[in-house]
Amino acid sequence: MKAFKTAAVVALAGVMVAAMCAMAGCAGNKLSVITSPDYPPYENLENGKYVGFDIELMEAIAKELGYSGVDWISMDFDAIVGAVAAGTQANVAISCFGIDPDRALLIDFTDPYVADAMAIVVLKTSDLADAGQSRITVAVNTQGFKVAVQSGTTCEDYVAENFPNATIVPFKDANDCYAAMQAGTVDAVCSNSSVAYKMVEVSYTNAKVVYTENTGEEYAIIVNKDQSDLKDKINAALAKLIDNGTVADLVDAWGL
């Protein structure tokens, strides 16, 4: 009977640990985190491996929190906020999330960890390739001018607000935006500045950044609203990584 009770207690303890782990959003001793790995230099897949500034930052945070690593979950960007709000797959996501009041209705933001500008990219054969910013502003804000954006991003909001006459063409994947421009189905791409410069340097060398605006947008990690304790722990870890120079080193390493 004693052996039976001991086994029952052990089994119950295992169930409780598993339940607590599920609530915390972890897989084994790894922190489950959602990302959309199509936005270099922040997050990308190279030979099946997650790489980028956001990736290394989140792995450093997970280590500070006592996890053995991160269990990465790949997802289309425009589905991530809803997934974190639901909390069924993970309670945390990092994927260049600009701090936005509409998103904050569904999820919580951590403290910001980096800021970036907005950029417009065109092919080098475009009439706008060597134009000044004032001419570009007028041209983009013209009916029939098609701008590709990643669906659900603040880039989409930026184009809608600043170039209301342009036609916004949303894509699930950031790479698809640039591929559409290369194929001639859109006239330009709007993405974050660091991403734009990385794309034209590595993957789309026949394109160039022709317009940038420092909007002051800051990026933060997003967390399920019921996980305030986890958010506080992430903020504490992030503050430590900023203070000890880790974040600055990552910024330099990834060319932000």
Is it the case that residue 102 has pLDDT exceeding 70? yes
96 contacts 42 by C-beta, under 8 angstroms: yes
- Tens digits of residue pLDDT in 150-187: 999 999 999 999 999 999 999 998 999 999 999 999 99
Q: Residues 6 or more apart from 87 whose CB is under 8 A from it?
A: 25, 224, 226, 227
- Tens digits of residue pLDDT in 46-68: 999 999 999 999 999 999 999 99
* Residue 55 Cα to chain centre, angstroms: 10
The rounded distance, in Å, linking the Cα atoms of 197 and 44 is 15
| pLDDT band (50, 70, 90) for residue 141 | very high
The conformational region for residue 118 under phi > 0 = left, psi -120 to 50 = alpha, else beta, is beta
Stated pTM of the model: 0.81
The mean-pLDDT minimum among 25-39, 74-88, 102-116, 184-198 falls in: 25-39
Tell me what pLDDT residue 1 has: 34
- Tens digits of residue pLDDT in 177-231: 999 999 999 999 999 999 999 999 999 999 999 999 999 899 999 999 999 999 9
Tell me what pLDDT residue 253 has: 95
Q: Residues 6 or more apart from 76 whose CB is under 8 A from it?
A: 36, 151, 172, 173
Tell me what pLDDT residue 25 has: 52
Q: How many helices (H) and strands (E) does the chain have?
A: 9, 13
Tell me what pLDDT residue 139 has: 96
- Peptide bond between residue 41 and the one before it cis (omega within 30 degrees of 0): yes
Bridge partners (DSSP) listed for residue 191? 119
Tell me what pLDDT residue 10 has: 36
Q: How many CB atoms lie within 10 A of CB 216?
A: 8
Query: Mean pLDDT, the chain, as a whole number?
Result: 90
Which numeric CATH code is attached to 2-114+218-253? Answer: 3.40.190.10
Angle at 113 between CA 107 and CA 119, to 5 degrees: 90
Task: Compute the 3-state secondary structure of the chain and give helix, strand, coil in percent, each to the nearest 5.
Answer: 45, 30, 30
Is it the case that residue 132 has pLDDT exceeding 50? yes
Is it the case that residue 15 has pLDDT exceeding 80? no
Q: Could you give the count of Cα atoms lying within 13 Å of 248 in the half-sphere of its Cβ?
A: 6
Q: Residues 6 or more apart from 96 whose CB is under 8 A from it?
A: 39, 42, 43, 54, 116, 153, 192, 195, 219
Domain ranges of the chain: 2-114+218-253, 116-216
Is it the case that residue 17 has pLDDT exceeding 60? no
Pick the CATH number of 116-216 from 3.40.50.2300, 3.40.50.150, 3.40.190.10, 1.10.1740.10: 3.40.190.10
Average pLDDT over residues 23-46: 84
The rounded distance, in Å, linking the Cα atoms of 215 and 218 is 9
What percent of the chain has a predicted confidence (pLDDT) above 90? 86
Bridge partners (DSSP) listed for residue 27? 30
Tell me what pLDDT residue 26 has: 52
Helix (H, G, I), strand (E, B) or coil at 151: coil
- Tens digits of residue pLDDT in 116-127: 999 999 999 999
198 contacts 126 by C-beta, under 8 angstroms: no
